[in-house]
Chain A
Amino acid sequence: MPSFIEVENLVKIYRMGNVDFHAVRGVSLAIDEGEFVAVMGASGSGKSTFMNIIGCLDKPTAGNYLLDGQEVASLSKDKLAGIRNKKIGFVFQSFNLLQRMSALQNVELPLLYNGSPVKDRKIRALAALKSVGLEDRAYHRPSQLSGGQQQRVAIARALINNPSLILADEPTGNLDSQTSIEIMTLFKRLNKEHGITIVMVTHEPDIAAYADRHVYFKDGKVVKDE
């Protein structure tokens, strides 16, 4: 039986003018369901590029990627959108909330794109907000929330469709250490209690310590996996 995430010889080449830049050069990796993986490495080593491909936001130049047994490289854009909607939750360094909307509407956003009934949306979004401890901030705009609260709204949004995978690219990069600990505790709980697979990029060893497995990138290659 294949692993939950299986990449083989993944290559991503950016073309700038007539110079090719190899951001990811032959990464092979298998991640099982329920793992909590920290991706580490120097800036520019290709971590985000790798995460985007894993998250179906970008397509690799070459190589294979099996997600939950499904070959992803051959899928259409719309199919990829469907996978992002149902299977994957994203947590970004800069939160990426829509400023014009309330926390609740932000959390509801993924439900808009899978035909969930209108009356269900609010109930589910409130439940998701509750699970991150923000039910009393449902009608606040992102600008009325602290960084940690915003990141928790983003996590609630990532959780709304009960994904099996959470991809977090430097989720604590914009947060102080106390808030970072709160977020990591939340991640740990999601991983342990709900069995959600988490792949997280971080530069900080004490954040990485929350993960069970550490993958190190260097110049577009995995150099250490422990």
Chain B
Amino acid sequence: MNTIATVKIAVNALSINKMRSGLTMLGIIIGVAAVIAMISVGSGAREQVSKQIASIGSNLLMILPGAATSGGLRMGFGSTPTLTFDDAKAIGTEAPDVAYAAPLLPGTAQVVYGNQNWSTVITGTTPSFFDIRDWPVESGVAFTQRDVDGATKVALIGKTVKENLFGDEDPLGKIIRIKKIPFKVIGILSRKGQSPLGQDQDDSIYIPVTTAQKKLFGTTFPGMVRMITVKANSSSALKDAEKNITALLRQRHHIPAGREDDFSVRNLTEILAATEQAAKIMSILLGSIASVSLIVGGIGIMNIMLVSVTERTREIGIRMAVGARGWDILMQFLIEAVVLAVIGGCIGIMLGIAGSWLISHFAGWEIAISPMTILLSFGFSAAVGVFFGFYPARKASLLAPVECLRYE
């Protein structure tokens, strides 16, 4: 008995009782749609996190002033209560396992160009910063060590700032005023997108750290910076880099043994990896919850197939009397269950894609529907059909022909 004929018989049998077949399929439809929607939402979230992680760069450490305590950041006593430009320089040159170190001194200010003005974050830093963040200049040039040494008034602007201040105009070489101080725009940074915290990283201006200290913000201590960002040589060197930086800073800050650090080193990559892991667990969780509904759908199929086998006992008897073997009967019912599951699966896939699209459209979440997910759901629903259809089909195939023919 060939497969196409069997499938035809199955479809025929299912179409006898359309209402019942439809309701049975509904379980699978909902299950598959839920799996697809949940996995799409989950992997969308994961992809977003990964993108953000990529956007801030890899192998990063962040050094903040003050000891890390349970209550948050606290200023250390005794020694220099802050991080300085020189600390950053020392870490960059002296600490082993460190590729780059850059100080950061951010502040908010009003920026004016012609009759346009825009409030944004101005960050004083060194050229290393752009290496640490893998953030190239798209047009123009980055400032150099010479600009840092000379505290020149040059600025690199992000895409958002460019769009708001200049529109279609070419900003290169133009003079902008930050807190009334004129700065020359020497470069435009490439687009970076959202940070893991949801900030627009392109809404920013970067200037030499010395210029920020001396001319723009002024600092309580000479050379003070808000934080230092560090890129380790490799991800495996992160731990050592952290240790070396701690040792170096303790020495520079003259902290005696037994005393707490007056700074804290944070492993950004680790924090973000944890976020990514959380997103991953979330998507697995969502997927497994949805799978439960698929299994419930499978049990629905099994239930209906059992009813069907009982109802059609006489048919089974007739088929056996004219020569059907156990295998033929098994295949007939199994294929019926699989056809039921697969049709349900296909409808579920379409609904799932539509559902994911609606979620992304109305909730504004990012979704990612991969062909793999679709294939997997399809395979899974077929497997559900086989798994839950097997028992009823086998039951049918083992019936004795006489018993079936006597059945009313």
Contact = CB atoms under 8 A, between A and B. Distances in A.
A82 B320 CA distance: 10
B327 A78 contact: yes
B322 A57 contact: no
Contacts of B317: 96
A161 B324 CA distance: 14
Contact of A115 (B1, B321, B322, B324): B1
A77 B314 CA distance: 18
Interface stretch (A84-92, A124-132, A172-180, A198-206): A84-92
Q: Indicate the member of A85, A115, A118 with the most B CB atoms within 10 Å.
A: A85
Contacts of B57: none
B402 A52 contact: yes
B365 to A, nearest CB: 48
A57 B401 contact: yes
Given A77-B326, A113-B324, A98 B402 contact: no
Given A78-B326, A84-B323, A112 B1 contact: yes
Contacts of B2: 118
A157 B318 CA distance: 11
A58 B320 CA distance: 11
Interface in A105-148: 109-110, 112-115, 118
Contact of A96 (B5, B323, B326, B405): B405
Interface string B188-227: 0000000000000000000000000000000000000000
A157 B321 CA distance: 11
Contacts of A118: 2, 5
B228 to A, nearest CB: 79
B323 A82 contact: yes
Interface in A67-91: 77-78, 81-82, 84-86, 90
Measured as residues with beta carbon below 8 angstroms from the partner, the interface class of chain A is: 20 to 34
A15 interface: no
Nearest to B408: A94
Contacts of B318: 96-98, 109
A86 B324 CA distance: 11
Interface string A142-184: 0000000000000001000100000000000000000000000
A58 B323 contact: no
Nearest to A52: B402
Measured as residues with beta carbon below 8 angstroms from the partner, the interface class of chain B is: 20 to 34
Q: Indicate the member of A52, A90, A112, A115 with the most B CB atoms within 10 Å.
A: A112
A143 to B, nearest CB: 14
B240 interface: no
Interface string B236-248: 0000000000000
Interface string B122-150: 00000000000000000000000000000
A96 B325 contact: no
B322 A113 contact: yes
A78 B325 contact: yes
Interface in B271-327: 314-315, 317-327
Given A112-B5, A113-B328, A118-B5, A96 B402 contact: no
A225 B181 CA distance: 127
Q: Indicate the member of B321, B401, B405 with the most A CB atoms within 10 Å.
A: B321
A57 B325 contact: no
A110 B322 contact: yes
Nearest to A92: B405
B22 to A, nearest CB: 18
Contacts of B257: none
Interface string A92-106: 100011101000000
Given A100-B16, A112-B1, A112-B5, A81 B405 contact: no
Given A84-B320, A84-B401, A114-B323, 18 more contacts: A57-B321, A78-B326, A81-B324, A82-B323, A82-B325, A84-B323, A86-B323, A96-B314, A96-B405, A98-B315, A98-B318, A100-B16, A110-B323, A112-B328, A113-B323, A113-B325, A115-B1, A161-B323
Interface of B: 1-2, 5, 12-13, 16, 314-315, 317-328, 400-402, 405
24 contacts: A52-B402, A57-B320, A57-B401, A78-B325, A78-B326, A81-B320, A84-B323, A85-B322, A85-B323, A96-B314, A96-B317, A96-B321, A96-B405, A97-B318, A109-B322, A112-B324, A113-B1, A113-B319, A113-B324, A113-B325, A113-B328, A114-B323, A118-B2, A157-B322
Closest 3 CB pairs of A and B: A85-B323, A113-B323, A110-B322
